[in-house]
């Protein structure tokens, strides 16, 4: 059984193409149902996010499965198969396994280290379980991907350090104040960046959020979302002394915060430190504010420099993450090999046992006046002979399985002995135990 993936992502395809092949959550069940009906596909999982659409499947013949999945994607979304195939990537076997491990560990994400993709893959697996499109192989495959992602996050710092301007602002505030729990934040502007920063500040324990915006109703809406207070934009400087952190992102064409305003606020605060974050372009805050004692001012370039340095650190951590993936890939490859090794040994033993019984019965029928002890001796001798004959290939297959090189030996054994691979589960379990003992 081969594992393969057919897909496209933000790295290979523009959003105008990705959105045409995306699956809405309510459509995934239908898609899985149609994919299960394809004769060459045994198991299948559909992953669909804003940045990628991927179909992972197990099939007896990967090439046939790839072709079938490509045609399915085209027909399902009403696209030309030839044109769509130009945007698709295909991985088979080890490369397909490695790809999912990298995706789950967020090494293939737009922002390396982001946590959302793992949850999205878990959701995709949940849909597949719900609709009965996964079995032994995909269950093991997806669970291994989850454990790989967990190990990468535990053993590396790939998810550490802020890689967005809004979160970098929060990290800086934590360094300046040691802790931002109990602090008060003022947002000047109510755009997306201010909203994102406010969420990060709230999640890190700030006490209160004040919002000032030229459109007061918008300030009220955002303040209500964070259980904060809206203040009139023209009066925001009257509230500066009440806040520890100011984040400004307005559309003003000139400075709206000047050194004199900040000095007045500091006197009212008894010189308690203030942190100003100016992410507006053009800037909202006069850079001379940074010369005022007990004031820390960072603009968008400062923050982007921090983000760039943090991204570089994440890239360094990705090297260690890739090593973890290499290790886990070998383990999974060994398990996949065992799916062929164990049934092959079961079939070989069954064939040898049938031959042994046949020859023993023939021999016993030719010996006259043989007592029960003699019969038992012949039975024991024949069984011991078969066990000795099978010991070496069993041990050899076990070693090859650990090194992920068992398939050529399996193929040779199956061909030379004309084995039929239909091992009952109980016998497979027994042979698996025997393999571990050798």
φ, ψ at 369 (rounded to 5°): 60, 35
**Bridge partners of residue 248, in order along the sequence:** 188, 278
List, as one string, the DSSP characters of 245-313: EEEE----SS-SB-HHHHHHHHHHTTT--EEEEE--SS-SB-GGGGGSTTEEEEEHHHHHHHHHHHHHH
Residue 402, Cβ neighbours under 10 Å: how many? 15
Sort 407 into a burial class: Cβ within 10 Å, 0-12 / 13-18 / 19+.
Answer: middle
**By three-state DSSP, how is residue 232 classified?**
strand
At a CB cut-off of 8 Å and minimum separation 6, what does 172 contact?
275, 277, 296, 298, 303, 306
Catalytic positions, written as ranges:
50
Closest CA to 1 of 48, 47, 49, 60: 60
Spatial contact of 258 and 287, defined as CB atoms under 8 Å apart:
no
SS3 1: coil
**Location of structure tokens 């878990």:** 122
Instruction: Write out the two tokens for 37.
Output: 């009906």
What are 137-140's contacts with CB under 8 Å, separation 24+? Answer: 137/1, 137/3, 137/42, 137/43, 137/58, 137/336, 137/339, 138/43, 138/44, 138/45, 138/56, 138/58, 140/332, 140/335
The first and second tokens of residue 106, run together, are: 């967020």
Distance CA 14, CA 87 (A): 9
Q: 313: left (phi > 0), else alpha (psi -120 to 50), else beta?
A: alpha
């Amino acid at each position: 059984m081969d594992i393969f993936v057919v897909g496209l992502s933000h790295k290979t395809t523009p959003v105008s193409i990705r959105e045409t092949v995306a699956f809405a959550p309510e459509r995934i069940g239908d898609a899985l149902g149609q994919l299960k009906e394809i004769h060459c596909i045994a198991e299948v999982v559909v992953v669909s996010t804003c940045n990628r659409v991927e179909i992972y499947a197990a099939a007896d013949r990967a090439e046939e499965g790839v072709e079938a999945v490509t045609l399915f994607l085209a027909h399902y979304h009403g696209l030309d198969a030839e044109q769509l195939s130009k945007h698709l990537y295909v991985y088979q076997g080890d490369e397909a396994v490695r790809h999912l491990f990298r995706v789950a560990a967020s090494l293939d994400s737009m922002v390396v280290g982001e946590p959302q993709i793992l949850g999205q893959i878990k959701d995709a697996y949940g849909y597949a379980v719900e609709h009965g499109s996964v079995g032994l192989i995909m269950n093991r495959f997806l669970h291994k991907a989850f454990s790989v992602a967990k190990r990468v996050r535990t053993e590396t710092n790939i998810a550490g350090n802020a890689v967005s301007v809004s979160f970098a602002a929060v990290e800086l505030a934590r360094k300046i104040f040691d802790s931002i729990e109990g602090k008060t934040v003022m947002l000047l502007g109510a755009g997306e960046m201010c909203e994102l920063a406010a969420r990060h500040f709230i999640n890190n324990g700030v006490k209160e959020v004040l919002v000032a915006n030229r459109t007061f109703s918008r300030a009220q809406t955002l303040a209500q979302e964070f259980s904060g207070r809206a203040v009139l934009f023209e009066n925001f400087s009257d509230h500066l002394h009440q806040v520890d952190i100011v984040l400004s992102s307005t559309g003003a064409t000139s400075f709206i915060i000047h050194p004199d305003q900040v000095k007045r606020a500091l006197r009212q605060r008894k010189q308690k430190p203030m942190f100003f974050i100016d992410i507006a372009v053009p800037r909202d805050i006069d850079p001379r504010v940074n010369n005022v004692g007990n004031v820390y001012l960072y603009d968008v370039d400062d923050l982007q420099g921090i983000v760039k340095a943090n991204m570089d650190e994440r890239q360094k951590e990705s090297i260690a993450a890739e090593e973890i993936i290499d290790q886990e890939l070998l383990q999974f490859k060994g398990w996949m090999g065992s799916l062929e090794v164990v049934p092959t040994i079961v079939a070989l033993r069954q064939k040898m046992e049938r031959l042994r019984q046949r020859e023993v019965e023939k021999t016993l029928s030719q010996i006259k006046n043989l007592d029960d002890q003699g019969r038992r001796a012949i039975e024991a001798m024949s069984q011991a002979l078969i066990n000795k004959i099978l010991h070496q290939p069993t041990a050899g297959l076990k070693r090859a399985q650990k090194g992920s090189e068992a398939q050529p030996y399996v193929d040779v054994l199956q061909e030379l002995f004309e084995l039929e691979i239909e091992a009952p589960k109980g016998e497979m379990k027994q042979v698996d135990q025997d393999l571990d003992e050798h």
